[in-house]
Amino acid sequence: MERLHINANRKKSKINKEIYGHFSEHLGRCIYEGIYVGENSPIPNTNGIRNDVVEALKRIKVPVLRWPGGCFADEYHWRDGIGPKETRKRMINTHWGGVVEDNSFGTHEFMELCRQLECEPYITGNLGSGTVEEMQSWVEYMTFDGVSPMAELRKQNGREEPWHLKYFGIGNESWGCGGNMRPEYYADLYRRYQTYVRNYGNNKIYKVACGPAGDDYNWTEVLMKLAGKFMDALALHHYTLPNDSWEHKGSATEFNEKDWYRTLRKTLYMDELVTRHSWVMDKYDPDKKVGLIVDEWGTWYDVEPGTNPGFLYQQNTMRDALVAGINLNIFNKHSERVVMANIAQTVNVLQAVILTEGTNMILTPTYHVFDLYKEHQDAELLESSLTTDLVGIEEEAVPCLHESVSMDKDGRIHITICNLSLSESRTIRAEIAGKAIKSVTGRVLTGEMNAYNTFDNPEKVKPVEFKNYKLLEDGLEFTVPACSVMALTVE
């Protein structure tokens, strides 16, 4: 029997709802087809945006959406995506798949998407190949509320009022596709570009600097030292690849038990990354004024056979559900420093929550984890600890159980637990100090390790109600099935 201790009197940090954020790039079929189909599409839409996708994303309460990239952001020139659609530039998306980008989805369409989703926009500006003037005028175009050439242009394009824009990234992966810079050089450029990212009227921009790739602690060190006082947050990127090779990352659906445990072991590494980058940040920012944002995370496999290698289309199994559950638990537990995270990417790309095919749409196991975990949004992280043993194969051993716990504003406790074992269930005795339990509700997502939803069988993997618990005097007892993600609410 495992023991879960929860201290309802010990609230540790607020779990910003933005930790449950998403990322959508002009890449493959994410924006075009997946989200935007145009006003004349037979697919039901509102102002060109798919109704089915918006409804599904609203159900999981997407709090913030990052756009237009990714690598695309540092090649994107925002003026190409405004004005009458017939006159917008057509070009080749050289970075992703060599397809025609007709710029029919631009700033106005993205802001309309965020309006429909009722989420915060998070825009990444072009520092790699764009000018300071270009970045400055984009922010002016979107947020200036007085008389100015950019505000005038916005009005000519049909938008009278400025938009509210909080999150703005200054370059993407500037150590790689965003310019191959050294941290010292980027830190100086960051200082320069951010100077002209202005606050107009009541709009206050939260400035996000490009952070490290994985374990590049030196990047964090240099950025914090040279530019820390000019930023609100630093953005880390880290993907989970089953294999270490980018040429042979591994299949999304065809994998064995060893691959399962190796993937989960590699995703658990996010904890070390966040911990060690936080230590570096603590040195320069002990009051934790600068946030750590993980604005690209998720699994990255070989593309589905027969699909464009530049489209990064992959299926999504129970393994992805566990990856999502583990990472979200990690972000919750580090919410004193991690203020936002954005899974890559919302629809049809990498660890997508939604896949589309023409008029059809399916929800992936990862979607269901976001649904199970949504109660953590804006709740307070509670002190918790869980005993557990190691499971897995030889060098791929992982802890069997992984949890996080929060309390919402109405005093309800939310427990999310992943069972990483493929073969063994675990019975847990949970003791909750500081809370009398009246009732418990729960849902669990479980299945074969490589079970996934298809357009022919869209509900093979979906959560079911969980009632199999016993109330005790000071807590509860329940059994978590093998290969599962569970969410319990204690009232």
Least CB distance from residue 200 to ligand AHR, whole Å?
Answer: 28
**Is the CB of 366 or the CB of 416 nearer to ligand AHR?**
366
Least CB distance from residue 254 to ligand AHR, whole Å?
Answer: 22
**Is the CB of 129 or the CB of 156 nearer to ligand AHR?**
129
**Is the CB of 349 or the CB of 461 nearer to ligand AHR?**
349
**Is the CB of 126 or the CB of 484 nearer to ligand AHR?**
126
Least CB distance from residue 16 to ligand AHR, whole Å?
Answer: 22
Least CB distance from residue 345 to ligand AHR, whole Å?
Answer: 6
HEC per residue, the chain: CEEEEEEEEEEEEECCHHHHEEECCCCCCCCECCCECCCCCCCCEECCEEHHHHHHHHHCCCCEEEECCCHHHHHCCHHHHCCCHHHCCCEEECCCCCEEECCCCCHHHHHHHHHHHCCEEEEEECCCCCCHHHHHHHHHHHHCCCCCHHHHHHHHCCCCCCCCCCEEEECCCCCCCCCCCCHHHHHHHHHHHHHCCCCCCCCCCEEEEEEEECCCHHHHHHHHHHHHHHCCEEEEEEEECCCCCCCCCCCCCCCCHHHHHHHHHHHHHHHHHHHHHHHHHHHHCCCCCCEEEEEEEEECCCCCCCCCHHHCCCCCEHHHHHHHHHHHHHHHHCCCCEEEEEEECCECCCCCCEEEECCEEEECHHHHHHHHHHHHCCCEEEEEEECCCEECCHHHCEECEEEEEEECCCCCEEEEEEECCCCCCEEEEEEEECCCCCCEEEEEEECCCCCECCCCCCCCCCCEECCCEEECCCEEEEEECCCEEEEEEEC
Residues that are catalytic: 173, 296
Least CB distance from residue 71 to ligand AHR, whole Å?
Answer: 4
**Is the CB of 134 or the CB of 173 nearer to ligand AHR?**
173
Least CB distance from residue 244 to ligand AHR, whole Å?
Answer: 16
**Is the CB of 327 or the CB of 345 nearer to ligand AHR?**
345
Site residues, ligand AHR (CB under 6 A):
25, 69-71, 172-173, 296, 344-345, 350
Q: Measured at CB, which residue is nearest to ligand AHR? A: 70
